[in-house]
A and B are shown apart, each in its own frame.
Chain A
């Protein structure tokens, strides 16, 4: 059974850092492109970052480029998002999601999310 379990969310101060994790089970993380998607309170979904399965190439939304870093640990089958220079606008639930292979590549499995709050 495919499962994604995020952790590491919490309260961070403006300008601070936080790392969230996504432990995958039921499949091999490095065989799939993986995505981070966030949702600010009461708002819609926003794509944040991706990492390609083959080669581990990272991609970022303009809103986080230069501040966030996506990575993975193949031995632990875990995805990470290192977030630096956090601002209030980064307050959101962060979801990791698996991108299905095949022609259409939808996000076929999502974690339950982890809440990141940025406040002084």
Chain B
């Protein structure tokens, strides 16, 4: 079972803003990374660190962190943002990784 907890599903209207959260003790020591996964595809990194985005990821994706909770915010959601989103971080050993259970984002 995941040491990182995510809501299983979230829905949002097209063009609105949605926040996906991830909770776990490891997040007090390490920043989260966030991955988007569409059906039948490999995960893609969307946000990492304080709120960094790889090249090619739109600036409507941002991250934040407070205490044991990390958040991924999508501002002005587009239809193509519908996907599963996973958070991950390092555990106390710093060598093992933890993943959240994933959040299915539905765009209405």
What is A's interface to B at a CB cutoff of 8 Å? 35, 37, 44-47, 50, 59, 61, 95, 97, 100, 103-108, 110-113
Contacts and interface: CB of A to CB of B under 8 A. Distances in A.
Interface residues of B, number: 25
B97 A104 contact: no
Interface stretch (B10-18, B21-29, B43-51): B43-51
Contacts of A107: 33, 35, 43, 45, 88
B61 interface: no
Contacts of B44: 110
Instruction: Provide the main secondary structure of the chain A interface.
Output: strand
Contacts of A50: 95-97
A110 to B, nearest CB: 4
Nearest to A107: B45
Nearest to B95: A59
Interface string B43-73: 1110011001010000000000000000000
Contacts of A103: 49
Given A37-B43, A47-B99, A106-B49, 20 more contacts: A35-B97, A37-B97, A37-B99, A44-B86, A44-B100, A45-B86, A45-B88, A45-B102, A47-B88, A47-B98, A50-B95, A50-B97, A59-B95, A95-B42, A104-B31, A104-B52, A106-B48, A107-B43, A108-B48, A110-B43
B90 to A, nearest CB: 8
A75 B90 CA distance: 30
Given A104-B31, A107-B33, A107-B35, A47 B42 contact: no
A44 B88 CA distance: 11
